[in-house]
Amino acid sequence: MTSIAWAPDFGTRSSVFAVSCTDGTVRFYSMAGGSTAREDKKVSAHTGATISVKWSPDGSALISTGEDGDVKLWSKSGNLRSTLAQNAASVYAFVWGPDGDSVLWASGKALSVKSASGSGRKPLSWRAHKETVLCVDWNRITDLVVSGGEDCVYKVWDSHGRQLYSAPTGVHVVTSVAWMPSGEAFAVGSFQSLRLCDKTGWSHARERPQVGSLLSLAWTPDGTELAGAGGSGGVVFGQLVQRRVESGALEAVQVAPKVIVVSGLEGGASDEAVESLEFPRDRVVEFALGYGKLVVATTTQCFLYTTNNLNTPHIFDLRAPVQLILLAETVFLMMDANGINVYNYQVRY
């Protein structure tokens, strides 16, 4: 087995998943009850190993890639719809685009984009790295792409193939990349190295987990935690802290999973100008500062503060973890896996 992908669940636990195998097959499974999986269908998909499978965002289709260089589109029931591309080199990485129709894949030194339906964007291909591209990810909010390869470099691109950032050449091959769901940052994995970068590409933190090469990275839906699979069999877990937002003279910094410190408040002495906000029930997943307001989302609740009074927030429950908060003068927006909600500061839709 080379990869496994659960079909999107849309708030309920998914019972369908697909598996890619070294014998060139793709296998479709469903949960028959409890923890028992039933193989519903096995298809011969590729010559050589099937490297990876991923479901479309709406769960209606599956893409598979293989050592033979093919990129194939399958129905949910396992019927071949089309062969999107036949490349000269193996396809080691691919990702669905933000529109749910475009597919971006890496073959050899190039990145290519094509519409799965044939009615979307025009096909595009460009040389991305000096050596084989091993990993790629595409963020649905910023529409930015990050890639990494055997040239020991990671790069940031726009969706038209224009390079926005190229990292200095590193010591080891870049084996994995993954965007934070909000698009504000991404993680880069290589041999015993895990790096956190902002969306412009600049590195802000680096850890050295002793697990060999990080072959795969995945963020939680709320973007606060990261897991990495190491080549030695170890799994690495990380927690995002020291996030910082500013508005005028005010600054809010998440110093711990459940603590935000606000500084620059009116109050005269420095010890009076700092306020520590603790959230004992759940960890903070997102926050935003501006227009005299501080909005904090934990895993289950939203806290709405006015910056001239941080003692009595308005609190309401959330239906799903928040991925993005944007503030305006009279309203604010919160996006989660179910969609976008807009509130005024009296917390009415």
pLDDT at residue 337, as a whole number? 76
With respect to residue 337, please indicate whether it lies within any of the assigned structural domains: yes
Q: Is the pLDDT of residue 218 over 70?
A: yes
Q: Burial code of 100-125, b = ≥16 C-beta within 10 A, e = fewer? A: ebbbbbbbbbbbbbbbbeeebeeeee
Number of domains in the chain: 3
- Say whether both 65 and 99 belong to one domain: no
pLDDT tens, residue by residue, 80-100:
999 999 999 999 999 999 999
pLDDT at residue 293, as a whole number? 94
The residue type found at 295 is V
| Interatomic CA distance for residues 251 and 244, integer angstroms | 7
With respect to residue 289, please indicate whether it lies within any of the assigned structural domains: yes
| Mean pLDDT taken over the chain | 91
Q: Is the pLDDT of residue 273 over 80?
A: no
Of residues 69, 67, 95, the one with CA closest to residue 83: 69
Compute CA 52 distance to the chain's CA centroid, rounded to the nearest angstrom.
17
- Say whether both 231 and 105 belong to one domain: yes
Cα 293 to Cα 41, 43, 84, 257, 287, distances in angstroms: 54, 55, 48, 21, 11
Q: Is the pLDDT of residue 236 over 60?
A: yes
Q: What would you measure as the largest C-alpha separation in the chain, in angstroms? A: 72
Q: Which of 209, 224, 240 is the last residue of a domain?
A: 240
Q: What is the CATH number of the domain that holds 3?
A: 2.40.10.480
- Let me know: does 76 contact 16? Beta carbons within 8 Å: yes
pLDDT at residue 270, as a whole number? 45
- Say whether both 179 and 109 belong to one domain: yes
Q: Is the pLDDT of residue 159 over 90?
A: yes
With respect to residue 172, please indicate whether it lies within any of the assigned structural domains: yes
- Say whether both 232 and 289 belong to one domain: no
Q: What is the CATH number of the domain that holds 236?
A: 2.130.10.10
Compute CA 59 distance to the chain's CA centroid, rounded to the nearest angstrom.
17
- Say whether both 68 and 94 belong to one domain: no
Q: What is the CATH number of the domain that holds 334?
A: 2.40.128.630
Q: Is the pLDDT of residue 271 over 50?
A: no
- Say whether both 34 and 170 belong to one domain: no
With respect to residue 349, please indicate whether it lies within any of the assigned structural domains: no
- Say whether both 159 and 55 belong to one domain: no
With respect to residue 53, please indicate whether it lies within any of the assigned structural domains: yes
- Which structural domain, as residue segments, surrounds residue 189? 87-240
What value does the mean pLDDT take over residues 194-214?
94
pLDDT at residue 11, as a whole number? 55
With respect to residue 142, please indicate whether it lies within any of the assigned structural domains: yes
Which sign, positive or negative, has the C-alpha torsion 303, 197, 339, 341? positive
- Say whether both 16 and 78 belong to one domain: yes
Cα 326 to Cα 123, 200, 283, 284, 343, distances in angstroms: 33, 19, 20, 16, 11
